[in-house]
């Protein structure tokens, strides 16, 4: 069937298994042909190993399709365009150099012209490299169809946000940094490898093989207890020392605990 080489179209259904769309042609042909299956073009590599696949355009999205050599079997979705004055474009005054993606979940990612890099997830988790989280806007319509840029808030992006996600960075060695859904933070090492904090003056705290080693001064405001929980525990600030016999034949009291300020 012969069709124009380029047509405007609207998405009727998604074919996620094949990264294709069912579209209806708009404009001159105006839905006078059945829904047509079109492949979706992407930028960058597209082979058996490499690819970059954004979410398929949603039903109702307008865009442009091409038909190579005018053959309806060669349909390809070349790109989407907004169907109305409302869009999710992240207006950034005087700054055309923001790379921005927003998805269905409420997650968004921002890479600004100054290098600010931010991501925000629907559970309230965020990641920021930069001075402040951006506040992406979108175009909405006010009274009298006046188009304005308004802040696209987290509540608008996802009115029913999930609870806090657990976080996990798992290294190939087995080392892990984790934050549980309730907020427990755990840094886990692997056998034979230390977990170390080092300052620029040569001080360090090293956790290795069940032993904590502090290089440098150790200042503690709370109790310091040796043998904790073993039944032979000794508190640094609370222990006494037995006294030798004074030859009176009686038993001697232990000495008192250390004297504060000494
Ligand atoms: Fe002592």
193 in any annotated domain: no
Domain that holds residue 52: 6-81
Tokens of 39: 């492949």
What per-residue confidence (pLDDT) applies to 14?
96
75 in any annotated domain: yes
Could you tell me the distance, in angstroms and rounded to a whole number, from the CA of residue 234 to the centre of ligand 1? 9
pLDDT digit string, tens, across residues 102-143? 999 999 999 998 999 999 999 999 999 999 999 999 999 988
Could you tell me the distance, in angstroms and rounded to a whole number, from the CA of residue 95 to the centre of ligand 1? 67
| Domain endpoint, select from 157, 177, 198 | 157
181 in any annotated domain: no
What is the C-alpha to C-alpha distance for residues 184 and 50, in angstroms, rounded to an integer?
37
pLDDT band at 94 (very low <50, low <70, confident <90, very high): low
- How many CB atoms neighbour CB 67 within 10 A? 21
Could you tell me the distance, in angstroms and rounded to a whole number, from the CA of residue 211 to the centre of ligand 1? 23
Could you tell me the distance, in angstroms and rounded to a whole number, from the CA of residue 101 to the centre of ligand 1? 63
Could you tell me the distance, in angstroms and rounded to a whole number, from the CA of residue 241 to the centre of ligand 1? 6
- Between the alpha carbon of residue 156 and those of residues 141, 165, 223, the distances in Å are 15, 19, 50
Could you tell me the distance, in angstroms and rounded to a whole number, from the CA of residue 221 to the centre of ligand 1? 18
Mean pLDDT of 14-20: 95
Tokens of 38: 């079109």
Give me the percent of the chain exceeding a pLDDT of 70: 97
What per-residue confidence (pLDDT) applies to 166?
98
pLDDT at 88 over 90: no
Q: Are 208 and 195 in contact (CB under 8 A)?
A: yes
Q: With CA atoms as reference, report the closest residue to 59 among 83, 95, 31, 85.
A: 83
pLDDT digit string, tens, across residues 155-199? 999 999 999 999 999 999 999 999 999 999 999 999 999 999 999
Give me the percent of the chain exceeding a pLDDT of 90: 67
What is the C-alpha to C-alpha distance for residues 34 and 23, in angstroms, rounded to an integer?
9
Could you tell me the distance, in angstroms and rounded to a whole number, from the CA of residue 217 to the centre of ligand 1? 19
Report the number of distinct structural domains present in the chain: 3
Could you tell me the distance, in angstroms and rounded to a whole number, from the CA of residue 225 to the centre of ligand 1? 12
What per-residue confidence (pLDDT) applies to 157?
95
Could you tell me the distance, in angstroms and rounded to a whole number, from the CA of residue 232 to the centre of ligand 1? 15
What is the C-alpha to C-alpha distance for residues 168 and 174, in angstroms, rounded to an integer?
12
pLDDT digit string, tens, across residues 226-241? 999 998 999 998 888 8
pLDDT band at 3 (very low <50, low <70, confident <90, very high): confident
| Domain endpoint, select from 46, 81, 116 | 81
What per-residue confidence (pLDDT) applies to 77?
97
């Amino acid at each position: 069937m012969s069709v124009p080489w380029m047509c405007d179209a609207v998405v009727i259904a998604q074919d996620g298994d094949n990264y294709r769309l069912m579209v209806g042609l708009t404009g001159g042909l105006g839905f006078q042909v059945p829904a047509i299956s079109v492949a979706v073009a992407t930028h960058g590599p597209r082979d058996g190993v490499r690819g970059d696949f954004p979410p398929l355009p949603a039903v109702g999205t307008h865009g442009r399709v091409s038909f190579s050599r005018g053959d309806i079997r060669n349909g390809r979705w070349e790109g989407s365009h907004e169907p109305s004055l409302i869009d999710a474009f992240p207006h950034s005054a005087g700054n055309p150099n923001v790379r921005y993606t927003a998805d269905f979940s409420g997650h968004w990612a921002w890479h600004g012209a100054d290098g600010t890099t931010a991501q925000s997830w629907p559970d309230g988790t965020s990641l920021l490299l930069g001075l402040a989280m951006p506040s992406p806007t979108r175009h909405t319509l006010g009274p009298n169809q006046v188009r304005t840029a308004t802040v696209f808030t987290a509540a608008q992006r996802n009115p029913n946000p999930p609870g806090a996600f657990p976080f996990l960075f798992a290294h190939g060695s087995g080392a892990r940094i984790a934050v549980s859904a309730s907020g427990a933070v755990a840094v886990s090492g692997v056998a034979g490898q230390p977990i170390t904090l080092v300052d620029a003056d040569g001080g360090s705290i090293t956790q290795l093989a069940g032993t904590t080693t502090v290089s440098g001064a150790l200042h503690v405001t709370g109790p310091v207890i040796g043998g904790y929980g073993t039944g032979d525990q000794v508190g640094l600030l609370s222990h006494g020392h037995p006294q030798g016999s004074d030859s009176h034949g009686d038993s001697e009291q232990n000495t008192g605990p250390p004297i504060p300020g000494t």
